[in-house]
Chains A and B, each alone.
Chain A
């Protein structure tokens, strides 16, 4: 066998072997990886809209997904909104739940963030930030309270800023306000409705 045909044979067989090995590995792990991804979303939805057992994706675009959620008896429990905005360093990925009339935020959770550890990263902290999002009135845009006050003193649609991390707190707040406005206009246009039967 001359050199160039040997080169082709060797490279092809290395390629074929690696391809065969990888497609096996790919097939074996695909389901599990997909399941991991879904489980994360699923758990987040259940945590932000209390009493949810079933959810249905009713709208999706880049960095903005809306799920309609239902309880055990099939009753509508509200919306879970997956959204993302630019924080101090990089994207902050958020999931929050509202009631069906979009008047109240039940809870908010942070799915992904790369804010400064010890400062901006406190947006994932229950004590420092997340607790202030529980059961907030969102019939009007939420506002930031700075410097932070105790939970009792906080207004119905006010959120405490994290000391030393106003930009990160603001980023979450603005993202939530923008997503709510967007969802409202989508509902008004009739693109989505809570029944989840938008043309499907």
Chain B
């Protein structure tokens, strides 16, 4: 049941955006339209799952056995950057419709701190392989949930009478704050 706890916690309690503040840039930048938010969320989930697997392998098969922990940051960032490139090329070759849907979001993901954050947090929490994979999928879905909810709210917000200085990022952050408060209600549900 440990795995289920990690999964639910990654989606609802320690949500990447609303608890760890990771992936704020796409959360604010790509949440203006619902359908692009869904695509972004799925692209992130996809890359996060692969990153979880690859970063675990690097950490436990290379860095820890050879006592190279100090190369963690450099190796993670390089691996993530090349991984995103590979995924992009692979999707373009194999599935043009999927590329159409996710293509433009993939390059944006390289500098997305959520991906790097996932690799670092999984290493920090000392998860085993299965736990890392579940953590990756859960965190991706948590990100998707947050960005989709945000897009839904922002589409309606367009019609609202927001005070001039708060238009744009200001009101988006306040909405995120209220969402974070709502998600806070999920704390303590895992015992």
Q: Within the complex, what minimum Cβ distance (angstroms) separates A7 from chain B?
A: 15
Count of chain A to chain B residue pairs whose CB atoms are closer than 8 Å in the complex = 32
Asked if A116 contacts B70 (CB within 8 A), the reply is no
Complex CA distance for A30 and B69, rounded to whole angstroms: 10
Residue of A nearest to B2 (CB): A86
CB-CB < 8 A to B74: which residues of A? Answer: 18, 22
Within 8 Å of chain B (Cβ to Cβ): is A62?
A: yes
CB-CB < 8 A to A22: which residues of B? Answer: 70-71, 74
Contact of A86 among B5, B71, B125, B126 (CB under 8 A): B5
CB-CB < 8 A to B13: which residues of A? Answer: 89
Q: Say what secondary structure dominates the interface of chain A.
A: helix
Query: Do A167 and B70 contact each other (CB < 8 Å), given the known contacts A62-B126, A89-B14?
Result: no
Instruction: Provide the B1-41 mask, 1 if CB < 8 A to any CB of A, else 0.
Output: 00001000100011000000000000000000000000000
CB-CB < 8 A to A121: which residues of B? Answer: none
Within 8 Å of chain A (Cβ to Cβ): is B191?
A: yes
Sort chain A's interface into a size bin. 10 to 19
Within 8 Å of chain A (Cβ to Cβ): is B187?
A: yes
CB-CB < 8 A to A174: which residues of B? Answer: 191
Within 8 Å of chain A (Cβ to Cβ): is B160?
A: no
Question: In the complex, which residues 81-101 of chain A have their Cβ closer than 8 Å to any Cβ of chain B?
Answer: 86, 88-91
Residue of B nearest to A88 (CB): B188
Query: Do A26 and B70 contact each other (CB < 8 Å), given the known contacts A89-B13, A89-B14?
Result: yes
Q: Within the complex, what minimum Cβ distance (angstroms) separates A140 from chain B?
A: 22
Instruction: Provide the B154-191 mask, 1 if CB < 8 A to any CB of A, else 0.
Output: 00000000000000000000000000000000011011
Asked if A90 contacts B70 (CB within 8 A), the reply is no
Asked if B70 contacts A171 (CB within 8 A), the reply is no
Instruction: Provide the B64-96 mask, 1 if CB < 8 A to any CB of A, else 0.
Output: 000011110010000000000000000000000
Instruction: Provide the A165-178 mask, 1 if CB < 8 A to any CB of B, else 0.
Output: 00100110010000
Q: Within the complex, what minimum Cβ distance (angstroms) separates B157 from chain A?
A: 29
Within 8 Å of chain B (Cβ to Cβ): is A23?
A: yes
CB-CB < 8 A to B70: which residues of A? Answer: 22-23, 25-26, 29-30
Asked if A86 contacts B14 (CB within 8 A), the reply is no
Within 8 Å of chain B (Cβ to Cβ): is A19?
A: yes
Residue of A nearest to B128 (CB): A62
Complex CA distance for A78 and B191, rounded to whole angstroms: 30
Complex CA distance for A186 and B13, rounded to whole angstroms: 34
Q: Within the complex, what minimum Cβ distance (angstroms) separates A116 from chain B?
A: 7
Asked if A167 contacts B14 (CB within 8 A), the reply is no
Asked if A116 contacts B187 (CB within 8 A), the reply is yes
Asked if B188 contacts A90 (CB within 8 A), the reply is no
Residue of B nearest to A18 (CB): B74
Footprint of A on B, CB under 8 Å? Answer: 5, 9, 13-14, 68-71, 74, 125-126, 187-188, 190-191
A–B Cβ pairs within 8 angstroms, 5 of them: A22-B70, A62-B126, A86-B190, A167-B191, A174-B191
> With A26-B71, A86-B191, A90-B14 given, can you name 9 additional A-B contacts, CB distance below 8 Å?
A18-B74, A19-B71, A22-B70, A22-B71, A22-B74, A23-B70, A86-B190, A91-B125, A116-B187
